Structure 1
Amino acid sequence: MAAKFGTSGLRGLVEDLSEAVVARHLRGFLAACPHGGAVHVGWDLRPSSPAIAEGVLRTVAEAGLEARRCGPVPTPALALSAQAEGVAAVMVTGSHIPADRNGLKFYSTAGEITKADEAAILNAAHDRNGPGGGVIRDWPGVGEAYLARYLAGFGQGALVGRRIAVWSQSSVARDLLVRLLDTLGAKVVELGRSDTFVPVDTEALPDAWRGQFSEWVAEGRLDALVSTDGDADRPLLVDELGEVWPGDILGAVAARALGARRLAVPVTTNGMLEQMGSFERVERGAVGSPHVIAAMRAMMGAAPGVAIAGFEPSGGFLLGFEAKGPAGPIPPLLTRDSVLPLVAVLSAAGNSPLSQLRAGLPQRFTAADRLQEVAPARGVALLEALQDPDARADFFGTPEACCDGTDGLRRTDAHGRVVHLRPSGNAPEFRVYTEADSTRAAQALLEEMLVRVADRLR
């Protein structure tokens, strides 16, 4: 698995991310994208990340720039700090994928890079040494500034009276999240801290984990359980009934609570958004934060001053305007964040159960999972075969209402049920998403389609 750009960032097996490979891409980034003379460098808690980060720091200094060692910090915290300083950033993380893989996320002075930037980086990548003369400096305080963003927006008493567990596992945000919730007034319980890396994909949680969450919530009489993926750009929320909130439900409620009027989301996002009556416009596009950001920027350019936000089914939330929190302003941040949607929804619930907040939404339900160790070429071949209407009729076995090829294949049948198929852009996986009018129907459809897809891929 050679290192390559996926839906968000450069990814590859650790053995393929040699210092030479990392340096080549980093030199391309510094040549193709504005950097402001310095680069903030952070990393997640997977075993390979610190060494890769040190290689990034050396390459930045070799290029004659100031390399700022920010330590293990959440990706959105690193992006926020670089934005405040007007400089670039590189996060060493494989996000939610297993520890045998890793990657880099790049931020220019304009923010998270675009797909056009990725192409420019590849074109500018080279193996020539830089002129030298740069320096490496420790840069503390990134996490503190991140915490301050939410304290200023929500206030120290925002969660008083709430009993909340943090499933710490190996999230790089685990200590910050415990501190934040405690400072906001919640009674915090820490669970499941791990010294080994746990790949948490918020769109494909194993049933055993869901069962454990439900047990913890019941035993602890919790109002909520929260967590994030490895680099803390994807949130996880479990309510007082032990139910996991899908990321797009969390994003929708957070966007409404923060006052967003227009949304940019991937095509895979729950179809209830248009039924909520809370948003003037919902723009749907390809999967991946670069596509969401591009859509948000286009919307912001066309309608300056309009409150625009974006999010993904993974729950990662992007704020394109200065929102008004209960205690103060929350500045924009155009990169996926896990903490803002969690705190916004917990705060919006007030003293009411989280399940009550969710029950008031239009009743459309989603499910998602993925088949692992699927070569990308096999997934692409399946989608190409399903371009033919007769092939789709045979494969799905139900009458078709419409079919969308924006990113993969998204098919709606005559009963309003949705199946979306797409190869992962980050790993050798094939993802399956379903949507129906009940949780049971969405899950049953998902299980049926996983079997059909697996049989066809074989």
Structure 2
Amino acid sequence: MGKYFGTDGFRGEANVTLTVDHAFKVGRFLGWFYGKNHEDGKSKVVIGKDTRRSSYMFEYALVAGLTASGADVYLLHVTTTPSVSYVARTEDFDCGIMISASHNPFYDNGIKLINDRGEKMREDVIGEIEKYLDGDLGEIPYATKENIGRTVDYVAGRNRYMGYLMSLAIHSFKDKRIGLDAANGSAWTLAKAVFDALGAKTYVINANPDGTNINTNCGSTHIEGLQELVRREHLDAGFAFDGDADRCLCVDENGEIISGDHILYIYGCYMKEQGALEGNKVVTTVMSNFGLYKAFDAVGIEYEKTAVGDKYVYENMLQNGYRLGGEQSGHIIFSKYATTGDGIITALKMMEVMIAKNKTLSELAAPFAVYPQVLKNIKVTNKTEAQNDKEVKAAVEEVAKMLGEDGRILVRESGTEPLVRVMVEANSLDLCEKLVDKVIDVIKARGYAI
């Protein structure tokens, strides 16, 4: 991770850590950088945004920077991150930009950069942007006269993306009663339009964005409202998205949560049955529940484990040709259909399995027994020293030995805070608590705790 850009773009509080000046300069650099690849100096960039009040401000700043450097900018307006990825890779754009802070509160925002293949932008390009932001690259020339870029209203691109989503459904959703939680974000019109077109009877909540209510007690990070809706209306299933709709969590017909790990299990089994599970592997992260691996073992599905972050999941999938991967949080990648997580595609794929197998989500998820998990953070003076301390490592090894094949321990450092995270999964919550505290007590005894 760089000074400004993390694993999911440049994110921070609007006009505090991420300012309009930053956005203008990012636009200036990208317009100039990609313009060098064209004889006339004109690159093509597509931009989407979520419903935050500051998204319009950042959109205008990016457009000003891009056009000042000679780029032509196509505006999708309020749309999802995966739609920007889709349009960038299918319609001859040099790059795409999504203005969103995903599941963060409304006062945060972010700039996500997408390459011409619909993937996250290369690290070397990000590095050059950061140099420019710090003034280390000198001046970039302004475009003049007829070389100044133009802005194009491009709602048509978003509509083509919606058509693509509808084309992925192989069954009608007629007679299915479905709840949708749009998180007052990017999916607020798209998800309902797609499910309605496919024949579902939709019940939609949190689809009234006002610029300040995105993710507020709603969406995939606050799924209680959708659970209540599914139970009250006796729906077949519910799907909750995050602010930019690249994530989706599900609610079964009983109102119980179907996590990203459940989704990987359900669709992984379905793909294996169809002979479509490339390499017989699903890509997970180290934070996936231990029960997922037990469930995969039971049906003969193998798995990879990456660092936390959809970026690392996708890199593993791309390198090895795997078709399915994702995170417990609901960021699921179906590489045959998209180069990034797509919440609406995830919902469509869950519907496909339900209809094809004529089973409810609870029935499909039943063989996967979630293991109790306890995760505690401890603030430390030095994350690396605390993890590598001989006595701390010995305590971790002792816990791992005690758990054997009936659980696991994971100790890792926070990427953004002076914290060590200690997580234990076992067959009882009390045992998890006891073993986590055992390791934390050693960290404290060794003098690392703040």
TM-score, structure 2 normalization: 0.80
1:343 Cα offset (Å): 1.3
CA 279–103 in structure 1, closer or farther in 2 if over 3 Å, else same: farther
Partner of residue 185, structure 1: 199
1:365 Cα offset (Å): 3.3
Partner of residue 198, structure 1: 214
Higher helix share: 2
1:57 Cα offset (Å): 1.2
Partner of residue 61, structure 1: 67
Secondary structure of 2:104's match? coil
Amino acid across the alignment from 2:5: F
CA 102–134 in structure 1, closer or farther in 2 if over 3 Å, else same: same
Q: In structure 1, what is the Cα distance between the partners aligned to 2:238 and 2:439?
A: 29
Contact 1:223 1:353 in 2 (8 A): yes
CA 134–335 in structure 1, closer or farther in 2 if over 3 Å, else same: same
1:13 Cα offset (Å): 1.8
Partner of residue 12, structure 2: 12
1:169 Cα offset (Å): 3.1
Does 2:175 correspond to 1:161?
yes
Quick one: percent identity of the two aligned structures?
Answer: 22
Amino acid across the alignment from 1:109: D
Paired residue for 1:276, among 296, 308, 312? 296
Paired residue for 2:341, among 329, 333, 336? 336
Deviations 1:428-458 (A, max 9, x none): 99877553447x6799689979998999865
1:129 Cα offset (Å): 4.6
Partner of residue 297, structure 1: 318
Partner of residue 277, structure 2: 260
Partner of residue 244, structure 1: 257
Paired residue for 2:189, among 154, 161, 175? 175
Q: In structure 2, what is the Cα distance between the partners aligned to 1:457 and 1:74?
A: 41
1:419 Cα offset (Å): 4.1
Q: In structure 1, what is the Cα distance between the partners aligned to 2:376 and 2:44?
A: 39
Q: How does 1:302-321 map to 2 (within 5 A)?
A: 308-321=323-336
Contact 1:318 1:335 in 2 (8 A): yes
Contact 1:33 1:117 in 2 (8 A): no
Higher strand share: 1
CA 385–32 in structure 1, closer or farther in 2 if over 3 Å, else same: farther
Does 2:106 correspond to 1:113?
no
Deviations 1:216-252 (A, max 9, x none): 2221111112121100111121111211112122133
Deviations 1:40-60 (A, max 9, x none): 011111111111011111111
Q: In structure 2, what is the Cα distance between the partners aligned to 1:202 and 1:273?
A: 30
Aligned length: 419
- Segments of 5+ residues of structure 2 without an aligned counterpart are none
- Segments of 5+ residues of structure 1 without an aligned counterpart are 301-306, 322-331, 403-411
CA 226–204 in structure 1, closer or farther in 2 if over 3 Å, else same: closer
1:38 Cα offset (Å): 0.6
Q: In structure 1, what is the Cα distance between the partners aligned to 2:382 and 2:373?
A: 24
1:413 Cα offset (Å): 6.5
Partner of residue 149, structure 1: 164
1:384 Cα offset (Å): 3.6
Does 2:392 correspond to 1:391?
yes
Contact 2:82 2:340 in 1 (8 A): yes
Q: In structure 1, what is the Cα distance between the partners aligned to 2:352 and 2:205?
A: 22
Q: In structure 2, what is the Cα distance between the partners aligned to 1:442 and 1:38?
A: 56
Secondary structure of 2:155's match? coil
Amino acid across the alignment from 2:120: E
Q: In structure 1, what is the Cα distance between the partners aligned to 2:162 and 2:431?
A: 37
Q: In structure 2, what is the Cα distance between the partners aligned to 1:239 and 1:430?
A: 34
Contact 1:96 1:201 in 2 (8 A): no
CA 100–177 in structure 1, closer or farther in 2 if over 3 Å, else same: same
Does 2:81 correspond to 1:75?
yes
Structure 1 or 2, whichever has the larger Rg, is 2
Amino acid across the alignment from 1:340: I
CA 175–397 in structure 1, closer or farther in 2 if over 3 Å, else same: same
Secondary structure of 1:104's match? strand
RMSD: 3.8
Contact 2:332 2:346 in 1 (8 A): yes
Secondary structure of 1:169's match? coil
Secondary structure of 1:318's match? strand
CA 202–213 in structure 1, closer or farther in 2 if over 3 Å, else same: closer
TM-score, structure 1 normalization: 0.78
Q: In structure 2, what is the Cα distance between the partners aligned to 1:319 and 1:124?
A: 35
Amino acid across the alignment from 2:320: M
Q: In structure 1, what is the Cα distance between the partners aligned to 2:89 and 2:412?
A: 35
Deviations 1:69-97 (A, max 9, x none): 11010000111011111211000111111
Deviations 1:348-383 (A, max 9, x none): 11242210000033x343658787xx9xxx568345
Q: In structure 2, what is the Cα distance between the partners aligned to 1:201 and 1:436?
A: 30
CA 437–344 in structure 1, closer or farther in 2 if over 3 Å, else same: farther
